[in-house]
Structure 1
Amino acid sequence: MARAGLNRGRVVAQAAVLADDIGLERITLASVAKHLGVRLPSLYNHVEGLEGLRRELSMLALRELAGQLGAAAVGKAGKDALRATADAYRAYALRFPGRYAATVTAPAPADDDHNEAAAAVLQVVVSVLHGYGLAGDPVIHAVRELRASMHGWADLEKRGAFGMPHDVDVSYQRLIDHLHVSLTQYADEPAPQ
């Protein structure tokens, strides 16, 4: 019998808190059960093992990230939308490092729910890129450029890898300025052969 008040949402929420505290890779079902004050077998009533928990955590984080990006982009276009969504992405990755780590791996192709959660993030980014006049294949390339830049930045910043005695925020603003210039030029560039 499941413990009163214990449900999938509560299990995943506790895993999210733990992932942010100790790191996604260190999450175990035993650690989640311990923090919930339940026995390990109780979790199997709510998640399908560690892999199922990680999937649920990824979907939670993707939905949160999509919400943050969407809220940041509302009413903005072009460079303002780019900067706002990039700022929201950076803030989410730094504030919730474990959850953010759960967003990085692509869902399995047949996992409709997980793909829907990932698509919500993509939809916001594509909307921002439409503000640059991008459509078709250039959008895919621009999405990859933007994601690689933002993920790389967030990962390095989270690890404390920007140790030089210069203002990190100035470097970050320059990155966004360069991305803006690159995206502005995308529509005029011929496709790579």
Structure 2
Amino acid sequence: MSVEQLGQALTVAAAGRVGSEAIQDIATAYIDFVRQHPGLYEASFHAPNRDEPQLAAASTVALQLLLDSLQPYRLSEAAALHAVRGLRSLCHGFASIGAQGGFAMNFEPSESLHFTISSFLDGLKQRSKDS
């Protein structure tokens, strides 16, 4: 199942860590998965049908991995879910633009990804300080 394969790739990338390093590696693994398995990614992209327990469980693994990785940011439950959506959107957009050849400038795409995710995480750090 494509959702399980994506979840496995993200789990391996995080390797039991949390925080910024884990999130950076998860984002890289997400982009790599899309690049290596575009058809599988497309099949896993939609929201899971809760009437399919195996699909719902596989989707929950990836969600929980991201929530666990975000724990050091001390976000409320709602804020953490918003952050997961934001991170997923960043990764999806980055992967989609890359797949269409949109990163033709003389900048290394992996450096741009790292910069973007770092900026996102800096925003989460600031948000947790303001809470």
Q: Which has the larger radius of gyration?
A: 1
1:123 is the counterpart of 2:64: yes
Once the two structures are overlaid, the 10-residue window that deviates more, 94-103 or 166-175, is: 166-175
Deviations 1:120-151 (A, max 9, x none): 11111111111322231111110111011011
Once the two structures are overlaid, the 10-residue window that deviates more, 86-95 or 66-75, is: 66-75
Instruction: Give the counterpart of 2:94 among 153, 157, 163.
Output: 153
Q: Is the 8 A contact 2:31 2:91 kept in 1?
A: yes
Paired residue secondary structure (1:131): helix
For 1:151 and 1:131, locate their aligned partners in 2 and report how far apart those are by CA, in whole Å. 24
Unaligned runs of 5+ in 1: 1-59
Alpha-carbon distance, 1:180 to partner: 1.6
Q: Which residue of 2 aligns with 1:66?
A: 7
Instruction: Give the counterpart of 1:105 among 46, 52, 60.
Output: 46
Alpha-carbon distance, 1:95 to partner: 0.8
For 1:61 and 1:136, locate their aligned partners in 2 and report how far apart those are by CA, in whole Å. 27
Paired residue secondary structure (1:187): helix
For 2:4 and 2:72, locate their aligned partners in 1 and report how far apart those are by CA, in whole Å. 23
Instruction: Give the counterpart of 1:95 among 17, 20, 36.
Output: 36
Tell me the TM-score normalized by structure 2.
0.90
For 2:35 and 2:130, locate their aligned partners in 1 and report how far apart those are by CA, in whole Å. 34
Tell me the TM-score normalized by structure 1.
0.63
What is the RMSD computed on CA atoms of the aligned residues? 1.6
Alpha-carbon distance, 1:170 to partner: 2.2
1:114 is the counterpart of 2:51: no
For 2:100 and 2:82, locate their aligned partners in 1 and report how far apart those are by CA, in whole Å. 27
1:162 is the counterpart of 2:103: yes
Alpha-carbon distance, 1:159 to partner: 1.4
Moved over 3 A (4+): none
Instruction: Give the counterpart of 2:75 among 130, 134, 152.
Output: 134
